[in-house]
Amino acid sequence: PRIVVIDRDGEHHRLDWEPDQSLMEVLRDNGLPILASCGGTASCATCHVFLDPRVTAELGERCEDEQELLEETESFDTARSRLSCQVERSTALDGITVTLAPEE
């Protein structure tokens, strides 16, 4: 899939999502400013992104760790927040727009 990422300055980046990458890895490997300090194990929340509410709904329930971490962030938005390291590639995500959450 290809995706559009909006960074914290409002700039748009068109990126390819390669097989075997999580959404966090797409962002990190393309030099976007996410720390991803836990390396993708749902324990740091620095890979927080906002997705379209319809996409979030389609992805289904967050796991317990993800839910708890997100709820602790200031910018948590129940309809739009995801930890990008917990979002796997799928064709259903082709063309989505991903917005980086503010740094905490």
Q: Please select the residue that binds ligand FES; options are 5, 26, 36, 93, rule is CB under 6 A.
A: 36
Q: Which of 11, 14, 5, 12 is nearest to 47 (CA)?
A: 5
Under rule CB under 6 A, residue 55 binds ligand FES:
no
Q: Taking CB under 6 A as the criterion, which residues in 65-104 touch ligand FES? A: 83, 85
Q: Please select the residue that binds ligand FES; options are 7, 21, 44, 76, rule is CB under 6 A.
A: 44
Q: Please select the residue that binds ligand FES; options are 6, 7, 13, 38, rule is CB under 6 A.
A: 38
Q: How many residues bind ligand FES (CB under 6 A)?
A: 12
Q: What Å distances lie between residue 61 and 5, 30, 58, 64, CA to CA?
A: 23, 27, 9, 9
Can you give the three-state secondary structure of 7-45, one letter per residue?
CCCCCEEEEECCCCCEHHHHHHHCCCCCCCCCCCCCCCC
Quick one: 15 or 23, whose CB is closer to ligand FES?
A: 23
* Residues of this chain that bind ligand FES (CB under 6 A): 24, 36, 38, 40, 42-47, 83, 85
